[in-house]
């Protein structure tokens, strides 16, 4: 494609970002919205995302003088797969397809590398010389389906060991023929005004100052041992902090309740939504959690966060953009309770 767009800040190309899921992956894709706006302030930027993660993108919608994402296009594949033979499912699918074809996109930046995200690119309407850029290779410990390359006209080779934020920037810069954005150019995630305006979520039983402990994760090997959580929780409780143990399903709730029995004053909250999580995290004295989406949400909000790595590589998602983030442990080398306690106390007032 001609560089008429990329060399001209006044130009207004139409750009489609395709990052469907999951929570952490969507969060680590946010910086490219800011990167694009910095260079192409007049661009139209749309984003296709699984419907369950729409709330993660809403704070970046263009409004009230702030320019971020112009349109969020919800994708409901997870729900559709449960009712493939219903007429309503196919009606919703074709409505989604129509949304993808309202505009002709000049750049499609697909940073997931899966068949489903490649198919989204195929369904979108595109200008004659559109660039459709995606991953040419897998990165370690990330899902990747080589068939997705068949939907691109620009496959982007990235390092095998590549941080999630850097990987998205790599694909974006290649698509727009820009010099790779250096890691020293710290990524931005949410508008500062949005973060500062987050009100307190009223939850009966929640008492300040509190520390959130996200012990749960989809993959059991990524969990930190209950014994370590107890040591941490008891130390925090002895210093006057309420230890809060969120959960996402009944099995995780049972673990939270068992831990709470042994930590003085600990609290097991009711289930809360992603919308609620913004507020609960924003008003915590500290968030401590394993490598999971809600821990990463605390880090991208710029809140004091300790990220615990047990069975995933630290280089892949560690928070490197703020001084109030501590990354402890690594794949195959879970941190000790003492390491996490020290990291936590270092961040607490």
For 113, list phi and psi in degrees, rounded to 5.
75, 35
Q: What percent of the chain has pLDDT over 70?
A: 97
How deeply is 143 buried, as exposed, middle or buried, from its count of CB atoms within 10 A (0-12, 13-18, 19+)? exposed
Q: Do domains 14-194 and 200-347 have the same CATH topology?
A: yes
The CATH superfamily assigned to 200-347 is Glycogen Phosphorylase B; (3.40.50.2000)
Place of tokens 């990167």: 35
Compute the 3-state secondary structure of the chain and give helix, strand, coil in percent, each to the nearest 5. Answer: 40, 20, 40
Q: Determine the pLDDT at residue 315.
A: 96
Q: Band the pLDDT of 36: cuts 50, 70, 90.
A: very high
Q: Average pLDDT, stretch 295-299?
A: 98
Name the nearest CA neighbour of 190 among 33, 16, 76, 324: 33
Using an 8 Å Cβ cutoff, are 184 and 163 in contact?
Answer: no
> How high is the pLDDT of residue 84?
86
Query: Would you say residue 225 has pLDDT above 80?
Result: yes
> Would you state the pLDDT for residue 1?
44
Residue 64 pLDDT > 80: yes
pLDDT in tens, 81-103: 899 889 999 999 999 999 999 99
Q: Where are the domains of the chain?
A: 14-194, 200-347
Strand order in 305-309's β-sheet?
A: 242-244, 210-214, 286-290, 305-309, 325-329
Give the tens place of pLDDT for each residue, 48-63: 999 999 999 999 999 9
Whether omega for the bond prior to residue 22 falls within 30 degrees of 0, making it cis, is yes
DSSP secondary structure letter of residue 10: T
The per-residue pLDDT for 326 is 98
Closest CA to 300 of 99, 98, 24: 24
pLDDT at 218: 83
Sign of CA dihedral 26, 31, 34, 36: negative
The answer, yes or no, to whether residue 7 has pLDDT greater than 70, is no
According to DSSP, the β-strands at 44-50 and 71-75 are parallel
Q: Residue 156: which of 172, 138, 177, 134 has the closest Cα?
A: 134
253: left (phi > 0), else alpha (psi -120 to 50), else beta?
Answer: alpha
Question: Strands (DSSP E) along the chain, which ranges?
Answer: 14-18, 44-50, 71-75, 105-110, 126-135, 154-156, 210-214, 242-244, 286-290, 305-309, 325-329
Nearest to 119 by CA among 102, 142, 96: 96
% pLDDT > 90, the chain: 90
- Of the chain, the end-to-end C-alpha distance in Å amounts to 53
Write down the mean pLDDT value for the chain.
95
Q: What is the pLDDT of residue 6?
A: 65
Tell me: the pLDDT tens digits for 256-276?
999 999 999 999 999 999 999
- Mean per-residue pLDDT, 13-33: 97
Region 129-146: what's the mean pLDDT?
95
**Tokens describing residue 86:** 């219903």
Q: What is the mean pLDDT of residues 33-43?
A: 97
Residue 9 has a pLDDT of 66
Question: Is 8 a residue whose pLDDT tops 80?
Answer: no
Mean predicted confidence (pLDDT) in 223-252: 97
Residues with Cβ within 8 Å of residue 209, at least 6 apart in sequence: 240, 241, 242, 285
Query: Rounded mean pLDDT of 307-313?
Result: 97
Looking at the DSSP bridge assignments, the partners of residue 75 are 50
**Predicted structure pTM score:** 0.95
Domain 14-194 has CATH 3.40.50.2000: yes
Q: Is residue 152 over pLDDT 70?
A: yes
Does the structure show a pLDDT above 60 at 4?
no
Judged against a pLDDT cut of 70, whether residue 39 lies above it is answered with yes
Going by their DSSP bridges, the two strands 210-214 and 242-244 should be labelled as parallel
Measured between alpha carbons, how far is 62 from 39 in angstroms, rounded to an integer?
16
State the Cα–Cα distance between residues 45 and 171, nearest whole angstrom: 16
pLDDT at position 2 over 50? no
pLDDT tens-digit series, residues 327-349: 999 999 999 999 999 999 999 98
């Amino acid at each position: 494609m001609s560089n008429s767009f990329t060399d001209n800040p006044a130009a207004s190309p139409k750009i489609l970002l395709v990052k469907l899921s999951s929570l952490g992956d969507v969060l680590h894709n946010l910086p490219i919205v800011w990167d694009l706006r910095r260079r192409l302030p007049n661009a139209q930027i749309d984003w296709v995302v699984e419907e369950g993660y729409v709330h993660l993108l809403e704070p970046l919608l263009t409004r009230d003088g702030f320019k971020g994402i112009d349109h969020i296009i919800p994708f409901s594949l997870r729900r559709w797969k449960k009712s493939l033979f219903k007429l309503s499912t196919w009606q919703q699918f074709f409505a989604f397809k129509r949304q993808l074809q309202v505009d002709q996109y000049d750049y499609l930046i697909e940073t997931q590398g899966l068949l489903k995200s490649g198919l989204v690119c195929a369904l979108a309407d595109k200008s004659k010389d559109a660039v459709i850029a995606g991953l040419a290779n897998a990165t370690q410990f990330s899902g990747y389906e080589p068939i997705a390359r068949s939907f691109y006209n620009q496959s982007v080779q990235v390092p095998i060991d590549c941080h999630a934020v850097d990987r998205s920037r790599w694909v974006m810069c290649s698509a727009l023929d820009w010099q790779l954005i250096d890691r020293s150019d710290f990524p931005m995630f949410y508008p500062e005004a949005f973060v500062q305006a987050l009100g307190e979520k009223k939850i009966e039983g929640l008492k300040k100052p509190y520390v959130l402990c996200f012990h749960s994760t989809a993959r059991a090997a990524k969990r930190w041992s209950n014994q370590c959580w107890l040591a941490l929780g008891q130390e925090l409780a002895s210093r006057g902090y309420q230890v809060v143990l969120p959960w996402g399903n009944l099995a995780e709730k049972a673990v939270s309740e068992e831990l709470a029995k042994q930590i003085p004053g600990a609290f097991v909250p009711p289930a809360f939504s992603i919308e609620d999580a913004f507020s609960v995290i924003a008003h915590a004295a500290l968030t401590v959690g394993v490598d999971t989406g809600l821990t990463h949400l605390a880090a991208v909000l710029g809140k004091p966060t300790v990220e615990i790595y047990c069975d995933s590589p630290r280089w892949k998602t560690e928070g490197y953009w703020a001084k109030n983030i501590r990354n402890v442990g690594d794949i195959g080398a879970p941190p000790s309770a003492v390491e996490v306690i020290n990291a936590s106390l270092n961040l607490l007032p």
